[in-house]
Structure 1
Amino acid sequence: MITTKQKSTFIFAVPALLLSAAFLGNLFVEGWDWSPFDFIIAAVLLFGTAFFVNLVVNSKKEFFSKLMICVGILAALMLIWAELAVGIFGSPFAGS
C-alpha cells in the first residue's frame, strides 16, 4: 500500500525532474535558450499544478471525481503552457 507521504513525494518529484531536464537541455542543447525568468515561470506552473493535484489526491472524494478534477488541472496547465510558448490565444503574454 502506498502511503500519503509516498504519493506526495512522487507528485512533487515529477516537476523537479522536468525542471532538471530543462536545465540540462539549456546547458547542452544548441538552440535551447531559456532565461532565468523562464525557469521561474515553469517552476511556478509545475509546482503549482503539483500542489493542486496533491490536494485533490488527498481529498475524500470518489476516485472518478478525483480523476476528472486532475484531468481538468492538467488541461489548464497545458493550455497555459501552450499560450506562453506559442500564443495560441493571442494574449499579451504569448510567446513567439
Structure 2
Amino acid sequence: MITNHTPQRWIYFIPVVLLCIPIVAMQFTNEVNWNAIDFLVAGILLFGSVFIIDLLWRNVKNKRNFWIGTAIVLFLLIILWAELAVGIFGSPIAGS
C-alpha cells in the first residue's frame, strides 16, 4: 500500500462526499444553514488535509511514520473544525 507511489486519486473524493452531506441536509432541515463561506472554509480544510495525507502517502517510506503523520493531520483537522464550529478554545478564529 505505502510502497506504491502512484497517485491515489480516489482519496480526493472523500472531501467531495463530506461536503455533500450539509448540502443534502440543508434540503431537509433548517438546522443546517451553511453559506458559501462555510463551504469554502470546509473545502480548504478537507482538501488541504487530503493533500497533506497524499504527500505523506507518496513520500514516507515507513508505514508507522505514515500512520503517525496521518493521525496528526486528522487530529489537527478535527480540533480546527471544532474550534471553528463551536469555539471550544475561545480563540479569535471562532468568531467570538
For residue 34 of structure 1, give the secondary structure of its aligned residue in structure 2: coil
Shift of 1:35: 1.1
CA RMSD of aligned residues (A): 1.9
- Correspondence for 1:82: 82
Distance of 2:60 and 2:24 partners within structure 1: 38
Letter in 1 for 2:6: T
Contact map agreement 2:5 2:58 (CA 8 A) in 1: no
Aligned residue among 4, 10, 14 for 2:6: 4
Distance of 1:88 and 1:33 partners within structure 2: 20
Contact map agreement 2:25 2:32 (CA 8 A) in 1: yes
What TM-score, normalized by structure 1, do the two folds share?
0.87
| 1:70 and 2:70 correspond | yes
What TM-score, normalized by structure 2, do the two folds share?
0.87
| 1:36 and 2:49 correspond | no
Deviations 1:31-63 (A, max 9, x none): 111111000000000000000000001114200
Aligned residue pair count? 94
Q: Runs of 5+ in structure 2 lacking a partner?
A: none
Identity %: 37
Q: Runs of 5+ in structure 1 lacking a partner?
A: none
Q: Which runs of 4+ in 1 moved over 4 A?
A: none
Distance of 2:48 and 2:92 partners within structure 1: 22
Contact map agreement 1:49 1:74 (CA 8 A) in 2: yes
| Higher relative contact order structure (alpha carbons within 8 Å, sequence separation ≥ 6) | 2
Distance of 1:94 and 1:26 partners within structure 2: 22
Contact map agreement 1:45 1:77 (CA 8 A) in 2: yes
